[in-house]
Amino acid sequence: MKLSMWMIANRLSPLMDIATNIRMDAKPILNSARVAYSTNTAHVYQSGRNVIVEGEGGDHITLFDIQLKEAFEIIQGVFDYYQDWETEMEEAVADGDYQRAVDTSWLVFNNPMMILDGNSRLLAITRDPELGKMDPEWDYLCKYGYSSLNSIRAMRYDNSNVDFTHYGSQSFQFQRSNTMLYGGISYCMIFNEGVCGRITLLEKNRKLNAGDSQLIERLAKLLEPRLGRPSSGNNSHVNVFFKLLSQQAYSEKELSIQLAYYQWLPEDPYQLCTIKPAGESGDMSLHILSQTITRHLQNAIVLEKNGCVHVISNRDMYNDPVHQQFREILLANNSLRIAFSLCVPNVNYLPLLERQTDFVLSNSESAEPGVYTFADHGLNFLLSSHSAREVYSACHPVVISLWEKARGGNSDLYDTLKTYIDCERSLSQTAAALYTHRNTVLYRIRKCQEMLGDDLDSPAKRLYIRISMQALELYGDELKKKS
């Protein structure tokens, strides 16, 4: 295991009197200790009554009042100690024993640590009796096994300058939180684009430095493949919204918990906005775009997937004035194509919404950067579908919902909407055709209008709705089965 001078200093400081002169960006490149100078090694030599441990670039640690032989054995022992720690970590992670990994790390960091999965579920937490009293959030985690709503809100709103979903290590300090008293380092783990966990090391017993960040990163690299690997819905550690969008198995319990963090309901009107940089864009520029959106749209879920930034909200973003102003600023300063799905009432329709924005982006590749909506492409999406799966996903999601309710015996809204469109939106003709009172028809149409937004005002969108109905009635059972 390669060490940095910071790692060596952190191990020595509780054991003996030392002085350090180490650059903040000193990297873990040292392979071993040597009494003669060699590249990428810790050079140990006598200097009067003291011993100097020198790394690359002039970094050095002074050990006071010690002989070279004893000092060399101590420094080489530091290398052996960290190697044993890494081996222990590898075995614990391979066994899925995250608590063992945290317990073994207590002597390394001498600070409290926790590991959570991508859904804020606690996997392991420091439980050393010497730890002492912590804070209310620590107690909540130990008791309930999940982050509290208060902590999630504090991370999202009070610390909006820190993107806790950005890959890698972030330093943080809560200024106004009554539940979280300690700052520290938080490392967001991502595997195959999905957030799969977080390691948080709190600064309680001693001040953290670059050596701690380097060791946390080493542990994260071991954990990411384990936490991110495909598994059953109940045991998955990947963020549930990423899994839902990717049509992977997910846990309904985890989904309900994540919805609670955002104070959303499953039946809210969800919309997906997909933003794709025009031309080639590297991961770094995509991360910057994602962070910008996260900080501005705090009550939204921002995910990176397939070279795009996906924004999930439980409201109509396209018609929201704040969102409109923000995307105007984005477009004025960046070359982007922004696609909006329909706004439909059911969080489980997110995979369909992603197919909608994908279709919009693929059909606007040669177009100028700008804003595009699926509402203007829905009919083409349906007519260009070539398989049962595509046809079913191409149907208007609200129509699918109403059709499924009709098949379950509640056909009032579906039949009324269909007849209303066939009667060219005449309330009197619709009432006559259904043998239903005009006020009842008006009530049902208003309910449909709430679900469809402005879709009934556009001839093209009404045609899309009607053809979706026709496709479901002709091939519905087969389409649903094959989808």
pLDDT > 60? residue 446: yes
- pLDDT-above-90 percentage for the chain: 57
Across residues 159-169, what is the average pLDDT? Answer: 75
Contact partners, residue 90, CB within 8 Å, separation at least 6: 222
203 and 111 Cβ atoms separated by less than 8 Å:
yes
- Mean per-residue pLDDT of the chain: 88
CATH 3.30.70.270 occupies which residues in the chain? Answer: 265-376
More confident residue, 453 or 253: 253
Range 365-384 average pLDDT: 84
- Comparing 180-189, 290-299, 325-334, which segment has the lowest mean pLDDT? 290-299
Counting every residue written for the chain, the total comes to: 483
Cβ neighbours of residue 248 under 8 Å, at least 6 residues apart? Answer: 230, 236, 238
Where does the pLDDT of residue 294 fall: very low under 50, low under 70, confident under 90, or very high at 90 and above? confident
- Centre a 10 Å sphere on the Cβ of residue 92 and count the other Cβ atoms it contains: 22
pLDDT for the residue numbered 477 = 63
- Sequence-ordered alpha helix ranges (H) in 168-282: 210-228, 240-245, 252-262
Q: How far apart are CA 470 and CA 479, in angstroms?
A: 12
- CB atoms inside a 10 Å sphere around CB 240: 25
DSSP 151-179: HHHIIIIITTTS-TTSSEEEEE--SS-SS
DSSP 26: -
Mind listing the pLDDT tens digit for each residue in 36-94?
A: 999 999 999 999 999 999 999 899 999 999 999 999 999 999 999 999 999 999 999 99
Q: How far apart, in whole angstroms, are the C-alpha atoms of residue 416 and residue 441?
A: 7
CA angle at 305 for the pair 468 and 216, rounded to the nearest 5°: 150
> What stretch of H or E contains 124?
strand 122-125
Predicted local confidence at residue 159, as pLDDT: 64
Share of residues in the chain with pLDDT > 70 (%): 93
Every domain of the chain with CATH number 3.30.450.40 lies at 95-235
pLDDT band of 281, cuts 50, 70, 90: low
Query: What sign does the CA torsion over 95, 198, 203, 62 have?
Result: positive
Is residue 59 within 8 A of residue 5, CB to CB? The reply is yes
CATH class of 95-235: alpha beta
Task: Kindly state the helix (H) or strand (E) to which residue 310 belongs, with its residue range.
Answer: strand 308-313
* 26 neighbors 57 (Cβ within 8 angstroms): yes
Domain 265-376 classification at class level: alpha beta
Q: How confident is the model at residue 298 (pLDDT cuts 50, 70, 90)?
A: confident
Burial of 345 (0-12, 13-18, 19+ CB in 10 A): middle
Q: What angle do CA 255, 191, 241 make, to 5 degrees?
A: 20
The pTM of the whole model exceeds 0.85: no
How far apart, in whole angstroms, are the C-alpha atoms of residue 187 and residue 93? 17
Nearest Cα neighbor of 23 from 41, 5, 38 is: 5
Residues 21-27: contacts with CB under 8 Å, at least 24 apart: 21/58, 21/59, 21/60, 21/61, 21/62, 22/55, 22/59, 22/60, 22/61, 23/57, 23/59, 24/210, 25/210, 26/55, 26/56, 26/57, 26/59, 26/210
For residues 379 and 329, the model is more confident at 329
